[in-house]
Amino acid sequence: MLLSCCTKFLTLKMIKNMASIPSAVLHASFTKKENKMFQVNTFGLFCLLVIFSIACCDTNSIQIVNSGSTNTAGYNINIERNGQTKYSVFRRFPIGGNPQEKTTQLEQNLRENLFANIEMAMPLSQYPVKHCMKSASFGYSLRVTYNEQTSPDLACPLSEEKLVNVNKFVRDIVAYLNIKTIGN
């Protein structure tokens, strides 16, 4: 029934465009039942699209990435707003296979402080991209991604107070997860 209603609507729409028939004549050709059904189905489709859009735009997670260096391991941390945290440490000398992903529940105060400070620092695109001198052996980059925006390198000296606070909570989380980058 929906298909026939949509087909009828599209056919009438094409006729209207081609023959320049007044829209009142076209709408009169729909029965009241078909009009009502078309409105309900259109609203339902709109609701599904909104839900899908929200689900695709994951604004409830933070990703922290440490690139690692010649002498230090890197890591990737993904923190959901509910505290579910997944992380991997990328060894400097892989022993075969992919790094093992670990899962834990982050303490409420740590995650709330991190989310609050990142949200206060938004938009992350407002901060200039910084480049800084780094050791060839131990230089790494540390970036946070939230709401499709990535911070400048938090391993460089920071002058913006909001980024300094984000950096502090990122390091607290790394310590809480007991991530070691030396010797891996």
pLDDT, residue 115, reads 96
Structure tokens at 112: 């709330």
Which pLDDT score, from 0 to 100, does residue 94 have? 59
Sign of the torsion angle spanned by Cα atoms 95, 101, 102, 107: positive
* Residue-by-residue pLDDT tens, the chain, 184 positions: 433 444 444 444 444 444 444 545 445 555 666 666 656 566 655 555 545 554 445 468 999 999 988 888 899 999 999 999 999 998 766 566 566 789 999 999 999 999 999 999 999 989 988 788 887 777 889 999 999 999 999 999 988 999 999 999 999 999 999 987 775 5
Residue 179: per-residue pLDDT: 87
Alpha-carbon distance 125 to 129, whole Å?
A: 9
Quick one: pLDDT at residue 112? 94
Query: 115 with 62: CB under 8 angstroms?
Result: yes
Does the pTM of the predicted model rise above 0.85? Answer: no
Inter-residue contact 70 to 137 (CB < 8 Å): yes
Distance of CA 19 to the CA centre of its chain: 47
Both tokens assigned to 140: 């790494």
Write out 155-169 in H/E/C secondary structure: CCCCCCHHHHHHHHH
Distance of CA 58 to the CA centre of its chain: 4
pLDDT of residue 48: 56
Q: How far is CA 22 from CA 6, 32, 147, in A?
A: 19, 19, 46
Which pLDDT does position 104 carry in this prediction? 94
Q: Quick check: helix, strand or coil at residue 179?
A: coil
What pLDDT score was predicted for residue 88?
92
